[in-house]
Structures are given as C-alpha cells and as structure tokens.
Amino acid sequence: MAIPVRKHIPTPVDHLHWMVSDDGSRTLRDLRIDETYHGGCGAVSESIVVYLLNSGAFDRLENNQATRIFELGLGTATNFLLTAAIARRRNVKLYYHAVEPSLLPVSILSQLDLAASVASIAMQGNLEREYPNSSELFTDEYVQALVDLNHDFLTELSNHADSQETQLVLDLGCVTLTLYRERWTSTGAPAACENLSKDRIAGAADMPMHVVYFDAFSPANSPELWTPEVFETVYRCLVPGGVLVTYCVKGDVRRSLAKVGFEVRKTPGPPGGKREVLVATRPMAT
C-alpha cells in the first residue's frame, strides 16, 4: 500500500512543523520526539470522534447542559476550540481546564486554520454520514462560531503573552478556559492541578469534571503520564458517571485505568484512523 506523502509547513519554532493530515486539517509534528499532536489520518476527525463524541461532551452541550472538562495537553487547542464552539453556539456554560507545560505561541496557534478544515470536512460529508447525530458540527453557524471563538481565544492569549503566571484564566463569554502551565509528573499533579481532585472544593462552581480528555503524547514519549497515580488523580476529579476518553488502547493503559476503578471499553476510532480508541467511565455508585 502506498504511504501518503504528507505536506509539512514550517512554523516560527524550528522543531515544530505543521503537517496536513488526511482529512485536510493540520496537526503539529514535534521533530525532537518524532510525534504528531494528532493522528495523521485526520486531526479534526480524531478530535471530533475520540474526544467530543465518545466523551458525551457534544451531547451534553447540545442539550444545553453546563459542562466541566479537564484536558491533559492543550497542545494546538484543537480539542478545546472544537468543543468550546458548540458551547458558544448554544450559549451554554463550559468550564474547561487544561494542563499545558509548553503553551504554543500565538504566532503558531494562529496558523491552525481550524474553521477552514471543518468547512472542508463538511463538504466531503464522510464524517457526517458516519455520525449523523453530529450534523450540527457541519453547519455554517457552527463554523462561524469557531471563527469568532478562535479570534477571541487568540486575542485573550495575546493579552497574557508576557504573563509569568502558572495559571491563566481566559474569559471567552460563556466559556472559561483555565490553563495550568505546568508539567504533570508521575509523583503527583502540579500544585495548581491538585485543586482538580481536592474534596474540599468538590462543591465549588467549576468542580468536579464531567469529562476528561486524556490527550498526552504516547506512553513511549510521556511514560510519566500513563500511570495508575495520574489516573487515580483524574478519577477523583470526575463526577460519578464521568468519562475519560483517549486515543490509546494499550493493554498496560487499560489495566492501569481499571486498577483505579474505571470501567474501560474499546470503541471504533475515527474513519480512516485508529481501529479502536478508549472510553473509561467512573462508575455511578462511587
């Protein structure tokens, strides 16, 4: 089978290149570790299926339910923007917390071109055919919400460009993005992230989480993140019935998730992408 030759586009940072994935959307490749931020078969398709749809976040927001999401690895903000645009379109409250030790500069984030990718995927129609419930994502109104949100996000980030704070809070209308600019380690969550799991704030307005997008680099490149210790912290920050989703189905990862109490199942991946991806649910009775 012919291996697709993917187009690479340089960025202002030497070790990062944009790569055009098979659905036409962009993802970053980190040349130092030879890993991309999304699967090469379709960055936007992966984000929609593995994160928005499999986690139930899309359904919650579509049903006007205020939602709290935690993401490990904000990266290019693709998962964040695609999710938050639904909240903005529906005018539903979204509290999105994300850890990112290497926040990308606005000069790179502004090259993402997400709305154009979604519009083009909408034209192709493949994803909508396979996931008819997701048709809202392929409307002109949603694409416009994405354009507006992206503008506000980049403006807010630019306003914080000189900030040395480890925690940034971006006010994006009905969406609040809390960014923890810290590295999560196997020996414990960073100070700012500990509040995700502390019981004493469990009743606070933006805790605990309905959904976790676990989007770290692969276990080979980020072994410190795929451990029972990290999964335990994540488990405790979820509401009973809350869901963790990830692209990785490795046996070790599934066993570590099960060990801390998650009910783990594999489910089909995005069209043309990984055959299976993971959904882990915190049981209702805990």
Ligand X SMILES: C[S@@+](CC[C@H](N)C(=O)[O-])C[C@H]1O[C@@H](n2cnc3c(N)ncnc32)[C@H](O)[C@@H]1O
Tell me the closest approach of the beta carbon of residue 216 to ligand X, in angstroms: 5
| Residue (63 or 102) nearer to ligand X, CB | 102
Q: Largest Cα–Cα distance in the chain?
A: 55
Tell me which stretch binds ligand X (CB under 6 A): 18-26, 95-103, 118-126, 248-256. Answer: 95-103
Distance CA 130, CA 111 (A): 29
Beta bridge partners of 280: 244, 264
Piece of the chain touching ligand X by CB under 6 A; list 4-12, 57-65, 158-166, 214-222: 214-222
**CA atoms of 85 and 93, how far apart (whole Å):** 11
Stretch near ligand X under the rule CB under 6 A, chosen from 144-152, 160-168, 209-217, 266-274 = 209-217
Q: Which residues contact 105 (CB under 8 A, 6 or more apart)?
A: 12, 13
Taking a C-beta distance cutoff of 8 angstroms, is the pair 267, 235 a contact?
Answer: no
Q: Is 246 in the site for ligand X (CB under 6 A)?
A: no
- Which listed range, 9-17, 71-79, 126-134, 144-152, lies at the site for ligand X (CB under 6 A)? 71-79
User: How many angstroms separate the CA atoms of 93 and 157, rounded?
Assistant: 20
Task: Report the alpha-carbon distance of residue 203 to residue 215 in Å, rounded.
Answer: 26
Site string for ligand X, 96-135 (x = CB under 6 A): ---xxxx---------------------------------
φ and ψ at 262, to 5 degrees? -70, 145
CB of 179 closer than 8 Å to CB of 103: yes
8 Å CB contact between 17 and 225: no
Of 76, 150, 176, 227, the one binding ligand X (CB under 6 A) is 76
Nearest residue (CB) to ligand X, 142 versus 184 = 184
Binding residues among 177-206 for ligand X as defined by CB under 6 A = 183-184
Q: Which of residues 215-234 bind ligand X (CB under 6 A)?
A: 215-217, 222, 224-225
| Residue in 18, 37, 58, 226 binding ligand X, rule: CB under 6 A | 37
Work out whether strand 209-214 and strand 238-246 pair parallel, antiparallel, or are unpaired.
parallel
Place of tokens 């502390």: 198
Q: Is 79 in the site for ligand X (CB under 6 A)?
A: yes
Phi, psi (5° rounding) for residue 135?
-60, -25
Should residue 75 be labelled a site residue for ligand X when binding is judged by CB under 6 A?
A: yes
Q: Does 42 bind ligand X (CB under 6 A)?
A: no
Which residue, 129 or 183, has its beta carbon nearer to ligand X? 183
The residues of the shown chain that bind ligand X, judged by CB under 6 A, are: 37, 72-76, 78-79, 99-102, 183-184, 215-217, 222, 224-225
